[in-house]
Amino acid sequence: MTVEAPPAPVEREPRRHAHRWPLRRITSVGVAIVAAFSVISIVVGVIALTSLSTARSRVIDRIDPALQQSLRLEAALVDQETGVRGYGLATQQDFLQPYTNGLAAQRDAVDRLTGLLGSDLPEAAAGLREVVTLADAWRTEYAEPTIQLVRTTGQPAVGTGVDRGKNAFDAVRTAVTALQDELNTARQLGTATLNRTWVVLYVACIAIAVVFVLIVFALAFGLRAAAITPLTRLAREVRVVADGDFAHEVAQSGPREVRELGDDVNRMRERILQELSALRSAHAVLDARTQDLERSNAELEQFAYVASHDLQEPLRKVASFCQLLQRRYAGQLDERADQYIGFAVDGAKRMQVLINDLLAFSRVGRIVREAVPVSCEKVVEQAKTNLATAIEQSGATIEVGELPTVRAEVPLLTAVFQNLLGNALKFHGDNQPHVTVTAERDGDFWRFCVQDNGIGIDPEYAERIFVIFQRLHAKADYPGTGIGLAMCRKIVEHHGGTIWLDTTVQTGARFCFTLPVLQEEKETDDHPGTA
C-alpha cells in the first residue's frame, strides 16, 4: 500500500487586512438604520408565532401523547388476554402475572387518556369509553370466570368459553383500533391547522422581508455586497474542505474577520493533511499486522487440531499394548519391571487426557453451534450431574442462587460451570467442600460468581492460572492437565464476556465471569412501558 507524502507547509505572508472595514462596523450601521422597522417586525412575528405555538401544542402536547397512551392501553389489554389464556392452559399462577400487570397499566393509560382528551376530542372520548366498557365486559364475562374456574378445578380451561372470550376480546381490539383511528384523524386535522398557521407565519415573514427590502434597498444591497456574499463564499469553500477535499485552498475575500477566518481554515487544512498522511501510514502497518496475526492464529488452531487428532491412534495403540503387557506379565517379572510398566500405562493415559483436552480447547470458537437462550440454573444442574461421583465422594454441598437466562452454546457453558465446580471440589483442603453459585445484573452483562472454601489461590497467580497447561501444584498432589481454566476463559470470551479471579476474598477462591444480557431484556429496560 502506497501512502502519499504529506505536503510541505506553505509559507504565508503576515495578515494585512487592517485597511478593510471589520464586519462589526458594517453590521452596526445596518442595525442602526433598520431598528424602527425591526420593532414592527417583532410584533408581527410574535403574533404569528403565538398562533403557531397554539396549534403545535394541540398536536404535540395532547394528540400525540394520547396516541401513545392508546398504544399503551392496547398493549395492556393484550397482556391481560395473554395472561388469562396462558393461565387457562397451563394452570400455573406465574402465567397470571401479565394479567395483573396489564390491568394496572390499563387503569393508568385510561386515566391519562381521559385527561388528554378532555372536551376538545368528543369522538375519541366516546371511543375510549366504549373500549373501557367492552374491556370490562370481557373481564366480567370471560376473564374472571376463567380464572376462578381454573383456581377451583385446577384443570385447563377449554371449550366454547374460550371461543366466546376470543370473540369478546376481538370486539375490544376493534374498539381500540377505532379509538386509534379517531386519534389519527384528529392528528391529521391538527397537523393541517399547524401547516396553515405555518403558511401564515411564512407569508408574514415574506411580507416583512419585502417591506424591508423596499425600505432599505440601498442599504441591504451594500450590506450584501460587503458582508453576506463573502461569508457565503467562505462557507461554500469551507464545505468543500469539510467534505474531504483537504487539498482545496480556501479563497479569501470580504471583511477583515472573514479573510482572517479563511486564513485560519487554510492553516487547519494543512495540519489535517499532515496528520491524515501519518494516520494512513499507521493504519497500513496495523492492517498488515492484523492480517498476519489472523493467519497465524488460524494456522495454530489448525495445527493443534490436526496434531492432537493424528496423535490419538498411535497413542491409543501404545496404551492398549502397555495395558495388555501389564495384565499378562504382572507379577511374573521383578518389582521394578512392574513399576516401569505402570509408569508407561500411566503416562499413556495422561497423554491421552492431554490430547483430548487440547483437542477440546482447539475446537472452542472454531466449531460453532447455534447459540440459544438457556437457563443457567439448568446448566448448573447438568454440571452437578456430571460431577455427581466427585460430589458424593467429597461430601460437598453446592448452593445455587437465582440464575438468569442467557444466550449461549449449551455444551460450552456447561463446561465452564463444570470446570469451576470441579476445581472447587478438587482443591478443597481439609474441610468438606462448600460451593456457592450466584449471579447479579451489571449493566448490559450478568456477573456470575463461583466461590468455595478451599485452599485458595495466591493473587500473584491470578493471570497465570488462565494460561493453558499452567499448574500450581504437582500432579501427584492434585490430578489434572492445567487446561480447564484456559478453556473457561476461551469459552467465556467466545460468548462476549470476561472471566477473572477475585483477589479480594480472604478464604477460599472466587471466580467471576460475565455474559451479555439477552437483547429482549435490554429492549425491555430501554422501553419499560412496552409489552
Determine which of 102-106, 230-234, 359-363 has the lowest per-residue pLDDT on average. 359-363
Reported as a pLDDT band with limits 50, 70 and 90, residue 347 is low
Backbone angles phi, psi at 246, to 5 degrees: -75, -10
Average pLDDT over residues 76-86: 85
For position 217, what pLDDT does the model report?
A: 77
Whether residue 159 has pLDDT greater than 70:
no
- 36 by DSSP, 3-state: which? helix
**SS3 readout for 466-485:** HCCCCCCCCCCCCCCCCCHH
Whether residue 127 has pLDDT greater than 50:
yes
Reported as a pLDDT band with limits 50, 70 and 90, residue 516 is very high
For position 300, what pLDDT does the model report?
A: 64
Reported as a pLDDT band with limits 50, 70 and 90, residue 303 is low
Whether residue 9 has pLDDT greater than 50:
no
What's the chain's Rg over C-alpha atoms?
A: 38
Whether residue 92 has pLDDT greater than 90:
no
For position 445, what pLDDT does the model report?
A: 92
- Per the model's pLDDT, the better-predicted residue between 22 and 199 turns out to be 199
Whether residue 156 has pLDDT greater than 60:
yes
Residue from 346, 393, 359, 398 nearest 377 by CA:
398
DSSP codes, 161-230: HHHHHHHHHHHHHHHHHHHHHHHHHHHHHHHHHHHHHHHHHHHHHHHHHHHHHHHSHHHHHHHIIIIIHH
Strands (E), 252-297: none
In whole angstroms, what is the distance from residue 262 CA to residue 505 CA? 62
In whole angstroms, what is the distance from residue 353 CA to residue 364 CA? 17
Length of the chain: 531
Q: What is the pTM of this model?
A: 0.41
Determine which of 5-19, 184-198, 463-477 has the lowest per-residue pLDDT on average. 5-19
For position 500, what pLDDT does the model report?
A: 92
Average pLDDT over residues 126-153: 85
For position 435, what pLDDT does the model report?
A: 92
pLDDT in tens, 176-208: 898 888 888 878 887 888 788 888 877 888 888
For position 19, what pLDDT does the model report?
A: 60
Reported as a pLDDT band with limits 50, 70 and 90, residue 31 is confident
Q: Which amino acid is at 328?
A: R
Determine contact, residues 472/457, Cβ cutoff 8 Å. Answer: yes
Top mean pLDDT of 231-240, 451-460, 522-531 is at 451-460
Whether residue 480 has pLDDT greater than 60:
no
H/E run at residue 436: strand 434-442
Give Cα separations from 284 to 5, 252, 297, 473 (angstroms): 14, 36, 20, 46
Residue from 472, 518, 493, 485 nearest 417 by CA:
485
Q: How many beta carbons lie within 10 A of that of residue 271, not counting itself?
A: 13
Whether residue 14 has pLDDT greater than 60:
no
DSSP codes, 498-529: -EEE-TT-SSS-EEEEEEEPPHHHHHHHH-TT
DSSP codes, 145-164: HHHHHHHHH-S---SHHHHH
Q: Residues near 107 by Cβ (< 8 Å), separated by ≥ 6?
A: none
Reported as a pLDDT band with limits 50, 70 and 90, residue 479 is low
| Beta-strand pair 445-451/434-442 | antiparallel
Taking the CA atoms of 161, 163, 165 and 168 in sequence, report the sign of the dihedral they define: negative
Residue from 213, 215, 156, 190 nearest 65 by CA:
190
For position 10, what pLDDT does the model report?
A: 45
CA 297 to chain centre: 28
For position 3, what pLDDT does the model report?
A: 43
Whether residue 355 has pLDDT greater than 70:
no
Q: All domains of the chain, ordered by start, with CATH? A: 37-214 (1.20.120), 369-526 (3.30.565.10)
DSSP 402: -
Determine contact, residues 80/103, Cβ cutoff 8 Å. Answer: yes
CA dihedral 195, 197, 200, 206 (to 10 degrees): -70
DSSP 227: I
Determine which of 4-13, 205-214, 416-425 has the lowest per-residue pLDDT on average. 4-13
pLDDT cut 70: percent of the chain above it: 75
Average pLDDT over residues 99-106: 87
Mean pLDDT score of the chain: 77
Q: Please, is 227 exposed, middle or buried when counting C-beta atoms within 10 Å of its C-beta (0-12, 13-18, 19+)?
A: buried
Determine contact, residues 30/219, Cβ cutoff 8 Å. Answer: yes
Per-position b or e across 157-192, b if 16+ CB within 10 A of its CB:
beeeebeebeebbeebeebbebbbebbeebbeebee
Top mean pLDDT of 62-71, 163-172, 321-330, 434-443 is at 434-443
Determine contact, residues 501/462, Cβ cutoff 8 Å. Answer: yes
pLDDT in tens, 250-297: 776 666 677 767 777 777 877 887 887 888 888 888 888 888 777 776
Determine contact, residues 143/165, Cβ cutoff 8 Å. Answer: yes
Q: Give the side-chain half-sphere CA count within 13 A for 87.
A: 26
Average pLDDT over residues 359-369: 57
For position 221, what pLDDT does the model report?
A: 73
For position 6, what pLDDT does the model report?
A: 46
Could you tell me the three cell numbers for 189? 386535522
